[in-house]
Amino acid sequence: MRDGAMAGSRSARTAVTHVVLIAGAVVMVGPFVWELLTSLKTFSETTHLPLTFLPHRWQWSNYVRVFEQLPFRQMFLNTVLMAAGRTLAQLVFCSLAAYAFARMRFPGNKLLFGLFLSVLMVPSQLFLIPQYVIIQDLGWVNTLQGLIVPGMFSAFGTFLLRQFFLALPHDVEEAARLDGANAFQIFLRIALPLARPGLLALTILTVLWSWNDLMYPLVVTTDPSAMPLSAGLATLQGEHFTDYSLLMAGSIMATAPMIVAFVVLQRHFIQGIAFTGAKG
Amino acid sequence: MAAVNSLARPRRARRPANRRPGRRPERMWAYLMVAPMTIGLSVFYLWPIAQTFYFSFTRSGPFGGHTWIGTANYRALVDEPSVFQSVANTLFYAVVQLAGIPLAVLLAALLNQRGLRGRSIYRLVYFLPVVTMPVAVAMLWRWMYNGDYGLINQLLSVVGIQGPHWASDPSVALYAVAAIGIWMALGYNMVIFLAGLQGIPTMYYEAAAMDGAGPARMFFRITVPLLSPSIFFATVLTVINSLQMFDLAYMMMSTPGAAAGTANPALPRVRTVSYLFYQKAFVEHDLGFGAAVAFVLLGFILAMTLIQFRLQRRWVHYA
């Protein structure tokens, strides 16, 4: 009798749990569904009261209009190249520096690492004005290198990979050293392959932040065809303010790559992002 | 998530005795390996910090020259009402963001129940906004907040409420932006708490159940205290990130025709410190004033973080 009552209360509790979690999930997903439905309506349908839930006729042509009314293809390409350029450079530069900090001793390493950490702890607004001045002096406004180059260096990435290198066991590296390998060979052949989870985390985070960042691209680009998607969409909103079916179609295409990547690499995304804390 | 915990506290492995620090060839390799990053960070990050500090004491001419004007920018900061208002807005925004934390703790605790079905689907769904471009998120919410054709006012009208123009009514716009912020960060905070919950031994709950404690009592007496280090971590990060908020405010306030973000009547009540920084430095091209605002922001972040570390002794339990 008592067991039955307890099982009953437990299943009631599970039901309440699901009700709360599903209500929350509706709040999380609902806006995305509304975004998708709006992107498939006509302009007059989006501004007709009472609002209809489903589009009368599905306007796939809105997605084509995004390409016609914006340099969307170019913006997409800019975003991909910016994310790829920054990420590849960071993987190389961060892992080199990180391994030296984790495993090698050299005069000045503490001071240098302290300087790196100070970059990590300061808000990005403190670099932005001089970065803009540098980009301007180099004539890099509205260029791909202007979008990429400062983002090739990261105190955060160095710190992240250093943690991974510190957690590696010493034995294999020591064996290689006894076999006559030099420090760089040990880094390249042994430590780097073992730190693959760290490299993956850094890749995910750098791509995601590059893809989503707004203030830096707004500052170093003024020409829409030189902008990445974030700055481009912000500009699109300024110009096509009321045409929400167009805006929604554009933003779905701009966000889809990160959402697909997240769904595929879910566990890695969550672990990487949970480790990091502050953005940027 | 165990990996995350081990990362946070790196184990420093024992250094083999035969490795003397800094042998010559190794030293050369070390310098070569740190060189690219050191040069890049110096040029694009470290030196700029010093330059920003210098700029904050100068006025920039239209052709790039910088004239030393002492503390005039900082004195102007104190006199300008938009600075005070944006500091108040930013603090308000940060405090409202903290309301998302108890919500995330509760949802994470529900999600962490043993044998719950669909856990990974829920986690996926709640985390979705974290990976979505903030620009797109703001655009989407602005559409839902639309006073005439927005989904939210449409739903409110069903129950007989006439909703305001959320994005342009000065008395509600900051709440509307803050709600988006909570929505975006919820999944992130939940993941932090799920990791923390995994570290709480189930025997505590079993013992409490034996003593006849109900779920609410267990939540407040076991879950919350033992999760307090994670809650502290999430609180510190939430405040640091909130104090720098830019994207959402910028996107909610931009208006057609005019230069982005100049004509929305709610702007003075939504403009954050970071927004003011952007506006002064890059829209009005007053680099010196912008630099001073950046240092105000740094001061605020340091002060708020310090306060939180001071307060932590009162409520955070480290096992």
- How far apart are the CA of A96 and the nearest CA of chain B, in angstroms? 5
Q: Where do we find the tokens 């492995």?
A: B13
Q: Do B183 and A208 touch (CB under 8 A)?
A: no
* Chain A residue whose CA is closest to B188: A274
Residues of B with Cβ-Cβ distance to A184 under 8 angstroms = 29, 32-33
Alpha-carbon distance A73 to B183, whole Å?
Answer: 30
pLDDT at A59: 86
Instruction: Please compute the mean of the pLDDT values over residues B265-277 and round it to a whole number.
Output: 91
Region A171-196 average pLDDT: 88
Mean pLDDT value across residues A30-52 = 87
* pLDDT average, residue stretch B67-77: 90
| CA–CA distance, B231 with B236 (Å, rounded to integer) | 9
- Looking at the DSSP bridge assignments, the partners of residue B67 are B59
Bridge partners, B60 (sequence order) = B66
> Token pair for residue A150?
């400062």
* Residue A239: closest C-alpha in chain B: B256
Residue B55 touches partner A, C-beta closer than 8 Å: yes
Contact A129, B287 (CB under 8 A): yes
Backbone angles phi, psi at A131, to 5 degrees: -60, -45
Give the pTM.
0.89
Query: What are the structural domain ranges in chain B?
Result: 75-315
Look at residue A211 in the predicted model and tell me its pLDDT.
96
Higher pLDDT, B179 or B212: B179
* A280 band by pLDDT with thresholds 50, 70 and 90: very low
Mean pLDDT of B175-180: 96
CB atoms B136 and A28 under 8 Å: no
Q: Which of B13, B123, B295 sits opposite A169 (nearest CB)?
A: B13
| Share of residues in chain A with pLDDT > 90 (%) | 63
Alpha helices in chain B (DSSP H): 2-8, 24-41, 47-55, 72-79, 81-98, 100-111, 119-131, 134-145, 151-158, 173-198, 202-210, 215-218, 224-243, 247-253, 267-270, 273-278, 287-315
Pick left, alpha or beta for residue A108 (phi over 0 → left; psi -120 to 50 → alpha; otherwise beta). left
Domain covering B75-315 in this structure, CATH number: 1.10.3720.10
User: Which residue of B132, B182, B248 to mutate against A (max A Cβ within 10 Å)?
Assistant: B132
Chain B nearest-CA distance from A26, in A, is 9
ipTM of the predicted structure?
0.90
Instruction: For domain A70-276, give its CATH number from 1.10.3720.10, 1.20.140.10, 1.10.3300.10, 3.30.460.10.
Output: 1.10.3720.10
Separation CA A147–CA B43 (nearest Å):
15
Interchain proximity A239–B287, CB inside 8 Å: no
DSSP 3-state assignment of A64?
A: helix
Structure confidence by residue, pLDDT tens digits, A193-206: 999 999 999 999 99
Measure in Å the smallest separation between the Cα of B285 and chain A Cα atoms.
10
For B18, other C-beta atoms within 10 Å of its C-beta total 8
- What is the structure's pLDDT at A7? 59
B310 touches chain A (CB under 8 A): no
The residue behind tokens 């099982």 is A7
**Residue to test with chain A: of B1, B42, B45, B219, most A Cβ within 10 A:** B45
What's the pLDDT at B256? Answer: 54
Provide the pLDDT confidence category of residue B121 given band limits of 50, 70 and 90. Answer: very high
Listed range (A147-161, B1-15, B126-140, B271-285) with the worst mean pLDDT? B1-15
Residue B175 burial (10 A CB sphere; 0-12, 13-18, 19+) = middle
- Tell me: pLDDT of B127 over 50: yes
Contacts of B94 (CB under 8 A, 6+ apart): B238, B239, B242, B243, B304
Q: Which of A106, A235, A254 sits opposite B133 (nearest CB)?
A: A254
Q: Which of residues 2-31 of B touch A (CB under 8 A)?
A: 3-4, 6-8, 10-16, 21-22, 25-27, 29-31
Q: Which of B194, B224, B196, B219 is nearest to B208 (CA)?
A: B219
* Partner-chain contact B49 A122, CB within 8 Å: yes
Residue with tokens 């409490």: B208
Whole-number pLDDT of residue B6: 39
From chain A, the residues in CB contact with B36 under 8 A are: 92-93, 96-97
Flag if B154 and A129 touch (Cβ within 8 Å). Answer: no
State the best of B111, B135, B206 to mutate against chain A, taking most chain A CBs within 10 Å: B135
Provide the number of CB pairs (under 8 Å) joining chain A to chain B: 305
Q: What is the DSSP string of B47-99?
A: HHHHHHHHHTTEEE-TTS-EEE-TTHHHHHHHH-HHHHHHHHHHHHHHHHHHT
CB B222 within 8 A of CB B204: yes
